[in-house]
Structure 1
């Protein structure tokens, strides 16, 4: 009976998407696992129709915390909720993020990822037959599983552009993983504002400007940490490490040009 219900749901979603039904919104939940420093996980949601998507990044929690490591909770960071919007008609990707308690709208061109679709492997994820593809994006090579049973060009985070919904992702370094754990559809009326950008954002900035802001924010945090340390234990001229190997985006396009 469970398999029959799954097949009915898959058929219903496929028919509605193929018919380009604007009244339906599909919601996919992903479990995200990151091993960038301390291992962490979250549950995030991807909402989409035929032309737009919104990925809401869930709150991360640290897994396998070493006994001798303590993390001070930052109430400001606890309230941060990152949202990623894709608009296919405008070929734009937007991100809402807080910097020093100010809300910014970060705008960038929709990334053009060159996907290798030559792989013959298949997998079954949430009842959908998936094909394998590989692509390189900002310093990482990703293996992804996508299904043509849901023929939209969306996926979690910033990864998209395949002839089907991306349901599973892993990078070749074993540091980044997205896995779809549930899928459902809803009437558009229930989430009528989900694709609307915040009307009270402080400023629209470019991706490059946002990276600079993030670096400055981390430098300020480092200064606060140093100021709280005993004088005899401080190290002079400490600066933020610009090496991004511990970040999900390790290399940006303007850095590759230099």
Structure 2
């Protein structure tokens, strides 16, 4: 029965993909759990097969108990851009440590989504459910069958419809669509490497960036221990971000 559903769904999406809009602006509500749970807005802009994702700390970071309309302003800068060129199959994002920011290049994965026969209605859209294991977390995504865009927030893509809701099974991270507009973002008129002040515009492979980051903080810790007698060091906690384990650590 599931195979029949997938075959029918594949024919349905094939028929509408040719009508896929070229420019779209999507806003998601993003909830992040932890010691101090927060909620914020994340945006996804699409143009001709290129997406730019941004969690907007500047305007919307707030405790989950605070309504969006009462969100404080100007707490953190917006800088965690992710640009994905789905035609060239390249994914780059901006990340930093210490005072410096860098362009980091990650692998463009062909995510092995498993589409289920489950459906539900989200804001008037009939959505199907898909599951994915990615870098140490199990994810569940709901994609709109009537919005023929194979994109989603963060590093999610590759489903035959726009991802309108996605969360890990521990519910540490949850994205839910808020609004969708068919318009072009001014971000596409700018060079990606000019969106944030960078130490270098040459992309670093993710594995090297993480090694450099660790070396930076290890050196800083050694210097503090050398210059501050009696100082003790607390072991670094286990990873708690979206990615818990990288493929080279398997």
| Fold-level similarity (TM above 0.5) | yes
Residue 123 to residue 205, structure 1, CA distance change in 2 (3 Å): same
Q: Counterparts of 1:102 and 1:53 in 2: how far apart (Å)?
A: 24
Does 1:147 find its partner at 2:139?
Answer: no
**Unaligned 5+ runs, structure 2:** 1-14, 66-73
What SS is found at the alignment partner of 1:120? strand
- Aligned in 2, Cα 1:125/1:218: closer, same or farther, shift over 3 Å? farther
Q: Structure 1 residues 155, 64: closer, same or farther in 2, change over 3 A?
A: closer
Instruction: Name 2:186's counterpart in structure 1.
Output: 191
CA distance in 1, matches of 2:179, 2:225: 44
Equivalent residue runs for 1:52-91 within 5 Å: 52-59=50-57, 61=61, 63=63, 78-91=76-89
Cα distance in structure 2, aligned partners of 1:98 and 1:122: 39
Unaligned regions of 5+ residues in structure 1, if any?
1-14, 66-74
Structure 1 match to 2:207: 208
Quote how far apart the aligned CAs of 1:81 are.
Answer: 1.2
- The answer to whether the aligner puts 1:252 opposite 2:249 as a matched pair is no
1:32 aligns with 2:30: yes
Q: 1: CA distance between counterparts of 2:227 and 2:241?
A: 26
1:45 aligns with 2:43: yes
Q: Deviations over 1:3-61 (max 9, x none)?
A: xxxxxxxxxxxx99733554xx2111111111134212210100013411110111173
1:176 to 173, 177, 180: 173
Instruction: Classify the secondary structure of the residue corresponding to 1:132.
Output: strand
CA positional deviation for 1:222: 6.3
CA distance in 2, matches of 1:145, 1:121: 9
- 1:192 deviation in Å? 6.1
* TM-align CA RMSD: 3.2
1:76-104, Cα deviation, whole Å (9 max, x unpaired)? x9335100111111111110223333331
Q: Provide, for residues 196-250 of structure 1, a one-character-per-residue CA deviation record: whole Å limited to 9, x for no partner.
A: 4224741310111222244345557767998999x66x32x54434x21x22100
2:32–2:38 CA contact under 8 A, matched in 1: yes
Q: How many residues align?
A: 222
Q: Distance in 2 between matches of 1:219 and 1:112?
A: 34
SS in 2 for 1:173: coil
CA contact (8 A) 2:129 2:142 kept: yes
